[in-house]
Chains A and B, each alone.
Chain A
Amino acid sequence: AMEDVCAKFVSQKISKARWRPLPAAALQTPDVFATGSWDNEDNRISIWSVGDLGNVGLGGEYQGEPQLLCDIGHNGDVMDMQFLDQERIVVASSTGTVTVFRHHQNNQTLSASQRWEKAHYHVDQDTPCGGAACTGVICNNSEIVTVGEDGRINLFRVDQKDAVRTIDNADSSTLHAVTFLRTTEILTVNSIGQLKIWDLRQQRNEPSQIFSLTGDRVPLHCVDRHPNQQHIVATGGQDGMLSIWDIRQGTMPVSLLNAHEAEMWEVHFHPSNPDHLFTCSEDGSLWHWDTSTDISEKPSFLHQGGRSTTYFSHNTTNQSVISAWLSNDPTKDRMEITNLIPNQTLSVNSLDILGPCLVYGTDAEAIYVNRQLFA
């Protein structure tokens, strides 16, 4: 419900928001997140706490707004940001530099612990302004993969000065996002509507598979992989369309779902409850896609301020694994979709979900936290 959301205006446009991961087997809910800003004269990385700090009201509901724990300046727009572990955050900059920041929790300070200057660059790395924006970063244990406007893919290992592997001109168009498919394979999306799989073990500088949107090659801006069923991949495009791909078969998406009216900036499966998916967009909306409810039992499904959803099915081959995301039975081809922001104005650039908690940041210079997503 909306009343569980608390907002804070932070006087900077937020480009990224990420929950700090919880220690393995921890039972507590996330209480710390990081944000990055863009388009400011001095951009910042900030760490926020929504910890209870004695703010729990009767009945345990959460009341306080996020409190700033510490922040640090960042050169260039924050293009992407990932927690490496509990203490370290990897940040991609519009200058092409990739920085690892360390959050010192004992004295609440941030410092840059490692930096790869101009990991992404145009033409000549040594010219003073040859940097190319690093658009995406993803971490897996100590490995960090970055992609950029230069079409380059870098593999770094934390604590190693030089890149472990670089694929120059991996893509002739701009790479917009990257994620791990498996430990040695990554997925990228680009500005001509392609989804590519790269096997980092192979020395060939070419993708092992290319998937592509049909028709107009609408740019893809974000990608996420189903946490349990690794063949299911979701991407979001410039036209706001959500595409679901089954990378075991075909080269086209299994389904295309109309969602937003402008660029979809991020898509995330819920990490532990992947029947739920979240997307946010330039049009100022944030959608919650829920396939967990058995629609056939309900006479109709509710839209909260949303518009009805059309659903196209492209693939009718038999499915061995039954997943709501790949289902193509027309009577069940529906899901409950809720717009979590009723009075949308400016772009929602980023969102993150962990446990029952949602955080998102906007161009209206506000961050929002909902700690009771499934209440």
Chain B
Amino acid sequence: AAVPSQVVPGADPCARQLCFAWGPAEVLVCETLFGRRGGSPSRGTGGPGRASPPGALTGCVAGSGEAGPSTSRLFVVRKDQDIYIQTLRKLFNESHGIFIGLQRSEEELAGKSRKAQLVQVSKNYRSVIRACMEDMHQAAMSARDPALHSQYSTQVSILSAMELIWNLCEILFVEAAGAGPLLLRLLDWVRLHVCDVDNMVREVLSSENPSKHELFWNVVDVFVLQGRMDEARHLLAKEASANPTSVNMYKILDDLMKKMPVPSLGNTQTLTEMELKWQHWHEECQRYLQDGTFASNSHMESICKILLGDEDAILEKKELMTTWYHFLVTQLLYSHPTVKPMELRMDLFLGGESSPEPLDMILMAAFEFEMHQVIKECSIALSNWWFVAHLTDLLDHCKLLQSHNLYFGSNMREFLLLEYASGLFSHHSLWQLGVDYFDHCPEYGRVYLELHIERIPLNTEQKALKVLRICEQRQMHEQVRSICKIMAMKALRNNRLGSALSWSIRAKDAAFATLISDRFLKDYCERGCFSDLDLIDNLGPSMLLSDRLTFLGKYREFHRLYGEKRFSEAAKLLLMLMTAHIAPCSFWMTLLTDALPLLEQKEVVFSAEQTYELMRCLEDLTAGRSDKKKFQDDDIETVKVEMLRLALARNLARVIVKEGTLEGS
């Protein structure tokens, strides 16, 4: 996308052929042997997903494997570097809450209160940036390692620039106040962000006698340039009391400053009224300047010129403004009301011939109301998607971006949110935040979520449950099945049949439940006893998930009845398992063998009718089998069949006698 070209350290396309695999938030770069040494192409294995070792993902670029002449190296290149900065996690988490709040607030309010709400959201975002900046500053202060210190300091300045841009966008686009109040907001913005002179102001104000301080007039100028009239007048009053001779001159200037018309925040005056007052005041200043009232004091004369919006006079104080945007706002304030940024002599601030800094370009674009340019420049300049994604989303909620559609993907808001959320998903821990962002991307969010969620490593059942909950809440049936299957397979490999079964029950995966049931039955056949009775005895309604599971449950019930010596119930159930075809054919011989001890009981258990049915089952089984193939272990099988036949015949004889006797009596 908009990320400038980056150099992957260590990867040298001249020495080795490189190949690429594009992931959602990462690029896999691997060195190949293709075209060299005449060998066959060697391919990098594993993707940036679940298969790759987590160790290879640390940092922006990581090489893996030992450096040998024949081993190829593997690089994982990430798109969103800032995601991995520990201190910024606070920013990501806290702003996530604000983002969700904004999406939920969906337009219940109209007009003014809606705007107030959006401004509040914007302020909340900024306060998170500021809090993060504060933390980063603390970290920089306490960092002993100089490299670390400078890294933190860089982050502080980036965060500070982000807040500066956001604040300006808030004033110009979100709040979009009318001409008068807009100017007041811009002045606040300048005061908040041009902090270079704050130390000087503090020094002068805290000195014993401020008016004697060598920087006294500088501070007065700073106040005037920033439109802080009351503070400037307060300082001047001190100076005036120290100079009784020129008290009149001070009084006049003080009066001018007091009378300066200030745009009101309320709707109490119309723009025309304001214009009129302004013109009147402007003429008054002009008069005093021309009649030489301030001629004896160059400081006061220059202040008067500033009040008149004299560009040269303002530019003389260039050092006190430090930035072109301060100059712009001051010029706006005093040359009221029409000034265009491009007409300002900003080259004086931008350091001569060199091209302007990205920050300047962004702010300039904002002043020209080029919203898309602001977003574009920010995307290029910043090493994160957080800023553009959240700002664009906010502007979209202000209904400022509706008309703009990209020629790829969906709209810009969604595009940027998808990029940001993909970055979150590439992070081992922040992926949970990404889910909610995808949820609010109507076009592609779902597809992205489906692709990303499958790559989350499931190292504990607890984590799997969390991922599963995300999928279930969104009816992502395919992913639910896949997660449960992965977990069931894991459990099966660990010989945890009970866990495996409960995972497949959760996914309602009948096929897998059948597979596990077969494992239980196989274990039973081999060992002659059931494992995991606590589970099998308590299957409840989930028994109905698969026929085999039903059989397992019922078969276990037969054993319980037998164990409790409830023989006739046991016999009935056993027969039913075969006649109702609940038992798989492969298991019939086992069931018939289980019937043997019942046939040998002192008391007759099977009725005549039941005995005939057992016989038919046995004959069906042997007939069906001998047709197809010869038994492998013929001998044992033949003996078993013979034993069964004998037992059945004897039982039949006994039961006929018994039933005959009963009838006769």
Cβ of B58 under 8 Å from chain A: yes
- Contact of A77 with B538 at beta-carbon distance under 8 Å, contacts A39-B429, A191-B502 already known: no
Q: Which of B504-542 contact A (CB under 8 A)?
A: 505, 531-535, 538-542
Partner of A135, one of B94, B101, B462: B462
List residues of chain B with CB within 8 A of the CB of A347: 432, 466
Q: Which interface class (under 10, 10 to 19, 20 to 34, 35 or more) fits B? A: 35 or more
Cβ of B97 under 8 Å from chain A: yes
Cβ of B191 under 8 Å from chain A: no
Partner of B541, one of A132, A173, A194, A215: A215
- Beta-carbon contact of B534 and A210 below 8 Å: yes
Closest chain A CB from B549 CB (angstroms)? 13
- Beta-carbon contact of A13 and B496 below 8 Å: no
For A128-164 the 0/1 string (1 means CB < 8 A from B) is 0000110100000000000001110000000000000
- Contact of A343 with B97 at beta-carbon distance under 8 Å, contacts A12-B429, A217-B542 already known: yes
For A332-365 the 0/1 string (1 means CB < 8 A from B) is 0000000000010111000000000000000111
Partner of B87, one of A11, A38, A133: A11
Partner of A345, one of B436, B460, B494, B496: B436
Cβ of B459 under 8 Å from chain A: yes
- Contact of A364 with B97 at beta-carbon distance under 8 Å, contacts A151-B498, A346-B432 already known: yes
- Complex CA–CA separation, A366 to B539 (angstroms): 40
- Complex CA–CA separation, A131 to B466 (angstroms): 21
- Beta-carbon contact of B87 and A172 below 8 Å: no
Partner of B58, one of A41, A77, A192: A41
Cβ of A312 under 8 Å from chain B: no
- Complex CA–CA separation, A191 to B503 (angstroms): 9
Cβ of A282 under 8 Å from chain B: yes
- Complex CA–CA separation, A169 to B429 (angstroms): 32
For A273-305 the 0/1 string (1 means CB < 8 A from B) is 000000000100000000000000000000000
Cβ of B16 under 8 Å from chain A: no
- Complex CA–CA separation, A238 to B461 (angstroms): 13
List residues of chain A with CB within 8 A of the CB of B356: none
Closest chain A CB from B211 CB (angstroms)? 39
- Contact of A191 with B432 at beta-carbon distance under 8 Å, contacts A11-B90, A94-B460, A133-B462 already known: no
- Complex CA–CA separation, A192 to B538 (angstroms): 8
- Complex CA–CA separation, A212 to B537 (angstroms): 11
Q: Which of A119-134 contact B (CB under 8 A)?
A: 122-123, 132-133
- Complex CA–CA separation, A123 to B436 (angstroms): 39
List residues of chain B with CB within 8 A of the CB of A199: none
- Beta-carbon contact of B97 and A365 below 8 Å: no
- Beta-carbon contact of A263 and B465 below 8 Å: yes
Closest chain A CB from B133 CB (angstroms)? 14
**Nearest-CB residue, chain B, relative to A77:** B460
A binding-site residues for B, Cβ under 8 Å: 9, 11-13, 38-41, 77, 79, 94, 122-123, 132-133, 135, 149-151, 169, 171-174, 191-192, 194, 207, 210, 212, 214-217, 219, 238, 262-263, 282, 343, 345-347, 363-366
17 contacts between A and B (CB under 8 A): A9-B90, A9-B93, A11-B86, A13-B429, A77-B463, A79-B462, A123-B495, A172-B534, A172-B535, A173-B499, A192-B502, A216-B541, A217-B502, A217-B539, A364-B93, A364-B96, A364-B433
10 smallest CB-CB distances across A and B, nearest first, come from A172-B498, A172-B532, A122-B494, A11-B89, A9-B90, A173-B498, A172-B535, A133-B460, A365-B93, A94-B460
